[in-house]
C-alpha cells in the first residue's frame, strides 16, 4: 500500500505509527554530527555531549510524551498533507519543545526531568545552553527545508510568546501577588501558543483557507490550555516523571494554590500545609474542571470541522483531546469509563 494513503486512512493509529519516525530525527542527527566531527580532529571524549543529548531526547519521548508531535501529525493528516511533510512537522515541533525544556531546566536550576538527570545537572549550565541552542539549530534547518514563509513568520512569533511567558514566570517567582489572570496568560504564552502552532502549521503547509486555519488554531490553543492545567494538577496529585509540588518549590503559584484564596503569603507555609489545604478545599477537582472548560471549547471546534476533514481524523482529534486526562487518576478523569 502507498505509505501516504496508509497513514491517511488509519486515523490516530496512523498518527501513532508516524510518531516514532518524527521523534527519532533529533537523536539521529545528533549522533550523525558527532560521528562526522571525530575524523576532523574533535577529541573522541567530545562525543559525551552528543550521547547526553541523545539520552535527553529519548527521555523526552518516553512515557507517552511527544504530545506536540502527535498533534502536528494528526493535523497534517486532517488537511491531507503527505507523510514526509507530516513527519517533518512532527520532528520540527518535537525539537522546539526539546530545546525549550533544556533551556527551562537551566532557568529553573532543575536537576531532574522525568526522573532522569537534566543536561545542566550532568554537564553544567554552559553546555546545557549550547545543547538547547544546538537542538534549536536542527529545528531551524528543518524549518528551512519546509520553505513556507507564513510558517517561518508564525514560528518566530511563537518563540517570542514562549520566551515572554517564561519571563513573566521568573518575574513573579516567590511572589504572593500572582493572580489567576496572570497565571492563565502565562500558560497561554508558554504552552498553548506552541500547541496552537502544531495545528496551525499543517494548515499553512496545506495552503488551507482562513476559516479552516482559524478553527485549527483555536482548537490547538484550547487544547494547550487544558493540557497545562492538567499538568499543574498533576504537580500535586502524583508523579508524571516529576517530584510532587515541584512548581511550588520553585516559587510558582499555579491554579490549585490560587484557588485556595490564601490571604497571607503561601510561601510562608510548609508544603504539607499546602497539600492539606488543597485536599480540604477540593482545589485539584476544581483545576480539572477548569481544564475541562477548555477541552469543551476544543471539542466545539471539532464540530466546526465536520465538513472540512474526514470522520476518522475528527475521531483522532477527539481521542487526543480526551487522552490528556489519562495521566490523572480515574477518579479525576472526566472522560474515564467508569463501571456502573
pLDDT per residue as tens digits for the range 39-59:
444 444 445 555 655 555 555
Across the chain, mean pLDDT equals 82
- Tell whether the model's pLDDT for residue 136 goes beyond 90: no
CA quadruple 73, 238, 291, 189: dihedral positive or negative?
negative
pLDDT per residue as tens digits for the range 183-213:
999 999 999 999 999 999 999 999 999 999 9
Nearest residue to 88 (alpha-carbon basis) of 166, 5, 165, 29:
29
pLDDT per residue as tens digits for the range 68-95:
888 998 999 999 998 888 888 888 888 8
What does each C-alpha distance from 165 to 99, 182, 329 come to in angstroms? 16, 10, 29
- Tell whether the model's pLDDT for residue 21 goes beyond 70: no
pLDDT per residue as tens digits for the range 283-323:
999 999 999 999 999 999 999 999 889 888 899 899 999 99
Domains of the chain, earliest start first: 1-147 (1.10.600.10), 148-340 (1.10.600.10)
Q: pTM here?
A: 0.83
- Tell whether the model's pLDDT for residue 18 goes beyond 80: no
Q: Which residues contact 44 (CB under 8 A, 6 or more apart)?
A: 38
List alpha helices for 173-260, DSSP H. 180-187, 193-205, 210-237, 246-249, 255-258
Amino acid at each position: 500500500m502507498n505509505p501516504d494513503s496508509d497513514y491517511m486512512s488509519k486515523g490516530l493509529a496512523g498518527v501513532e505509527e508516524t510518531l516514532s519516525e518524527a521523534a527519532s530525527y533529533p537523536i539521529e542527527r545528533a549522533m550523525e554530527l558527532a560521528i562526522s566531527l571525530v575524523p576532523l580532529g574533535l577529541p573522541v571524549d567530545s562525543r559525551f555531549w552528543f550521547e547526553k543529548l541523545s539520552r535527553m531526547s529519548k527521555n523526552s519521548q518516553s512515557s507517552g510524551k511527544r504530545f506536540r508531535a502527535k498533534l502536528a501529525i494528526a493535523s497534517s493528516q486532517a488537511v491531507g498533507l503527505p507523510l514526509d511533510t507530516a513527519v517533518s512537522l512532527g520532528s520540527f515541533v518535537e525539537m522546539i519543545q526539546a530545546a525549550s525544556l533544556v533551556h527551562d531546566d537551566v532557568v529553573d536550576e532543575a536537576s531532574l526531568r522525568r526522573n532522569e538527570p537534566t543536561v545542566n545537572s550532568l554537564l553544567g549550565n554552559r553546555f546545557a545552553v549550547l545543547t538547547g541552542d544546538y537542538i534549536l539549530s536542527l529545528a531551524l534547518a528543518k524549518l528551512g527545508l519546509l520553505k513556507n514563509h507564513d510558517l517561518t513568520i508564525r514560528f518566530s512569533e511563537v518563540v517570542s510568546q514562549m520566551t515572554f511567558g517564561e519571563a513573566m514566570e521568573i518575574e513573579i517567582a516567590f511572589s504572593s501577588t500572582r493572580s489567576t489572570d496572570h497565571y492563565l496568560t502565562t500558560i497561554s504564552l508558554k504552552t498553548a501558543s506552541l500547541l496552537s502552532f502544531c495545528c496551525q502549521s499543517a494548515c499553512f503547509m496545506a495552503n488551507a483557507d482562513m476559516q479552516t486555519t482559524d478553527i485549527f488554531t483555536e482548537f490547538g490553543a484550547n487544547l494547550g490550555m487544558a493540557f497545562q492545567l492538567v499538568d499543574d494538577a498533576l504537580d500535586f496529585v502524583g508523579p508524571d516523571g516529576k517530584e510532587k509540588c515541584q512548581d511550588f518549590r520553585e516559587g510558582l503559584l499555579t491554579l490549585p494554590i490560587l484557588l485556595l484564596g490564601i490571604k497571607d503569603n503561601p510561601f510562608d507555609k510548609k508544603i504539607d500545609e499546602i497539600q492539606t489545604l488543597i485536599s480540604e478545599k477540593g482545589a485539584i477537582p476544581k483545576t480539572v474542571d477548569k481544564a475541562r472548560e477548555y477541552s469543551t471549547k476544543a471539542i466545539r471546534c471539532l464540530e466546526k470541522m465536520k465538513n472540512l476533514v474526514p470522520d476518522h481524523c475528527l475521531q483522532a482529534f477527539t481521542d487526543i483531546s480526551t487522552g490528556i486526562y489519562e495521566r490523572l487518576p480515574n477518579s479525576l478523569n472526566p472522560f474515564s469509563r467508569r463501571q456502573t
